[in-house]
Chains A and B, each alone.
Chain A
Amino acid sequence: MATPTSLPETARRSYWGNVWSTIKSTAVGMGITFRYLWSKPFTVQYPDEKLTTDERYRGIHYLEQDLCICCNACAKACPIDCIEMEATRHGKELEWHQFDLDYQKCMFCELCVYPCPKDCIHMGKEYALVTEDRGTLNMDLLTWQGLTEEQKVRIAEAEAKKAAKKAAKEAAAKKKAEQENREEA
């Protein structure tokens, strides 16, 4: 009697065919797993070694503070308002008070990077944000705090210049007023 061909292959095999196919398929499967057993694992031992991130990876920002002019363009572009900055102007010199980026809110959308007129804010490669204290996630992006000696000198110079300019202007105004008085007299 011919076996109906509509049955699945496993049902059409004979008794010894089943025995043979079981042994054979198990042997083939075990051969494959044995090959895998000796192949090099894909796993990376994370804290010790890290995978290299992509060129365009969007990690924690870094700021080129020397270039920044405190124009607030990035803070305005930010859709969730996580950037806050403050600086006092002394002529062309800036006295920074804060440049905070709150990583509890930040979604790494990169929208703050494009509007920067000085091209001074970038997305970095660092991604490890694990912390025991949420407060530390509100990060200060300033590369330095306070002012260097050189800067203090430059600020002092700028202030002196400003004061001199003001004094000169006042002197000029006084002179002018005196002249007008004399003419009247």
Chain B
Amino acid sequence: MKPLTIIASALPEAPVSEAAAPQGNGLTEMLAGWLPESVPFWGLTLMASGLAFGVIMAFVSVVAMFSTWLERKVAGHIQIRLGPMRVGGWHGWAQAIADGVKLLIKEDIILASADRPLFKLAPALVLGTAISTFVVLPFAPGVMIADVHLGIFFVIAISSVTTIGVIMAGWGSNNKWSVYGAMREAAQVASYEIPLGLSLMPPVIYYGSFSLLEATQAQSGWFGMHWYILDPSVMLVSVPSFVLFFVATLAETKRAPFDLPESESELVAGFHTEYSGIRFSFFFMEEYAAMFVMSAIATVLWFGGWNFLGLAALEGIPVLYTTACMLVFIVKSMLLVFVMMWVRWTLPRLRIDQVMILGYKYLTPLCLIVVFAASLLEYLRFVLSN
């Protein structure tokens, strides 16, 4: 965990000699144990990918459903009303399922004047990139699809591909509002990618690694409460970097007060004006999936991942420990998702020039200052500890 290891971890691995067997991950190894040896490696990889996709898709659907319900409940109660109360009995818990079924059976309209390939591809691309970021999230010890060495970098890189999908949707719709929405999205994401990346640097400097698994393991001290944001020796940079990351995340996931690509009061519905039925629901699922992923990244880097006070005491009981860790991780992430909703129902939408001013004149310089402070602090800690 020393500063120099960052550079080492950022470099590509030494090239594998051709004689070496292809490297699989935990999933392929597990499948290899179950299946006969005659199954070739590419078959195993294909099956592992399919399995991972199924699991992630199911998880994303559940998260999106729960989040839509929570969003409506939070919105309702902040406005002193109740939100959905009828469907399914207890506080309208089945509202999201009913909405999903409704969207499934609705007519899927494609405009005659739309660019058909782009129009059809955009929702798939948007949702696909959103769910592929789930691959690197460490839910619990052993519950992680792939321990990518550059996990944080992977998430940031992949999640910005969503923008291309949004631009495709806007352009393919052949609609002024959609194109306005897509252009705003492009401008916004291009601007906020910088503070987003920079605000992730302080934790990376602290852990000396881009790996999300290593970040989680590094925070397991103090009976599970040695979180980056709670460490008094680095609090001076961890708290501001989290705030900056959170603001950049809101812009990145198109959440209010940065929901300019969608801004329903000026652009109808922005880039997804012309979408209906299941394609429309893909955009919604993407929004909630992206919110969850960004919250999960914040959970891993600032709030200790699956670590919680006294959770290590359960380590002897494997199934219970894994379940408890997953629960802690998901609850922490959902709490951050709740904060995003809370912000949405507090702040009004910014103007596009205000968004740009906030991004370039405030977040980026502040991020640079925080990164510099974090480097200095880490150097001091390194000098003092030796």
User: A: which residues have CB within 8 A of B?
Assistant: 18-19, 22-23, 26, 29-30, 32-34, 36-43, 45
Contact mask for chain B residues 344-380; partner A; CB cutoff 8 A; 1 contact, 0 none: 0111000000000000001000100000000000000
- Given contacts A18-B362, A19-B362, are A30 and B343 in contact (CB under 8 A)? yes
Question: Which residue of chain B is the closest to A40 with respect to CB atoms?
Answer: B80
Count, chain B residues at interface, CB 8 A: 17
- Contact check, B85 vs A45: say whether CB atoms are below 8 A apart: yes
Q: Which residues of A contact B345 (CB under 8 A)?
A: 33
- Contact check, A41 vs B82: say whether CB atoms are below 8 A apart: yes
Question: Which residue of chain A is the closest to B362 with respect to CB atoms?
Answer: A19
Q: Which residues of A contact B82 (CB under 8 A)?
A: 41, 43, 45
A36 to chain B, nearest CB (A): 5
Question: Which residue of chain B is the closest to A25 with respect to CB atoms?
Answer: B347
Tell yes or no: B79 within 8 A of A by CB. yes
Which of the 9-residue segments B1-9, B70-78, B124-132 touches chain A? Answer: B70-78
- Contact check, B362 vs A37: say whether CB atoms are below 8 A apart: no
- Contact check, B346 vs A26: say whether CB atoms are below 8 A apart: yes
Tell yes or no: B53 within 8 A of A by CB. no
A174 to B79, CA, bound (A): 89
Q: Which of the residues A22, A26, A42 comes within 8 Å of B80, measured between beta carbons?
A: A42
- Contact check, B342 vs A36: say whether CB atoms are below 8 A apart: no
- Contact check, B346 vs A37: say whether CB atoms are below 8 A apart: no
Contact mask for chain B residues 48-92; partner A; CB cutoff 8 A; 1 contact, 0 none: 000000000000000000000000001011111110010000000
Question: Which residue of chain A is the closest to B81 with respect to CB atoms?
Answer: A43
- Contact check, A36 vs B78: say whether CB atoms are below 8 A apart: yes
A33 to B77, CA, bound (A): 9
Number of contacts between A and B (CB, 8 Å)?
Answer: 42
Q: Which residues of A contact B243 (CB under 8 A)?
A: 23
Q: Which residues of A contact B81 (CB under 8 A)?
A: 41-43
Contact mask for chain B residues 295-324; partner A; CB cutoff 8 A; 1 contact, 0 none: 000000000000000000000000000000
Q: Which residues of A contact B366 (CB under 8 A)?
A: 19
A114 to B80, CA, bound (A): 42
Q: Which of the residues B74, B80, B347, B362 comes within 8 Å of A29, measured between beta carbons?
A: B347
A34 to B74, CA, bound (A): 10
A45 to B81, CA, bound (A): 10
A51 to B210, CA, bound (A): 59
Q: Which residues of B contact A42 (CB under 8 A)?
A: 80-81
- Contact check, B80 vs A34: say whether CB atoms are below 8 A apart: no
A118 to chain B, nearest CB (A): 46
A36 to B77, CA, bound (A): 7
- Those of B158-214 within 8 Å (CB) of chain A: none
- Contact check, A30 vs B80: say whether CB atoms are below 8 A apart: no
A45 to chain B, nearest CB (A): 6
Question: Which residue of chain B is the closest to A42 with respect to CB atoms?
Answer: B80
Q: Which of the residues A19, A37, A45 comes within 8 Å of B77, measured between beta carbons?
A: A37
- Contact check, B76 vs A41: say whether CB atoms are below 8 A apart: yes
- Contact check, A34 vs B347: say whether CB atoms are below 8 A apart: no
A147 to B169, CA, bound (A): 73
- Contact check, A34 vs B77: say whether CB atoms are below 8 A apart: no
B136 to chain A, nearest CB (A): 31
- Contact check, B74 vs A37: say whether CB atoms are below 8 A apart: yes
Q: Which of the residues A19, A33, A40 comes within 8 Å of B78, measured between beta carbons?
A: A33
Question: Which residue of chain B is the closest to A35 with respect to CB atoms?
Answer: B78
11 contacts between A and B (CB under 8 A): A19-B362, A22-B362, A26-B346, A29-B346, A29-B347, A30-B342, A33-B78, A36-B80, A37-B74, A41-B76, A41-B81
A60 to B263, CA, bound (A): 44
Interface centre among A26, A32, A37 (most CB of B within 10 A): A37
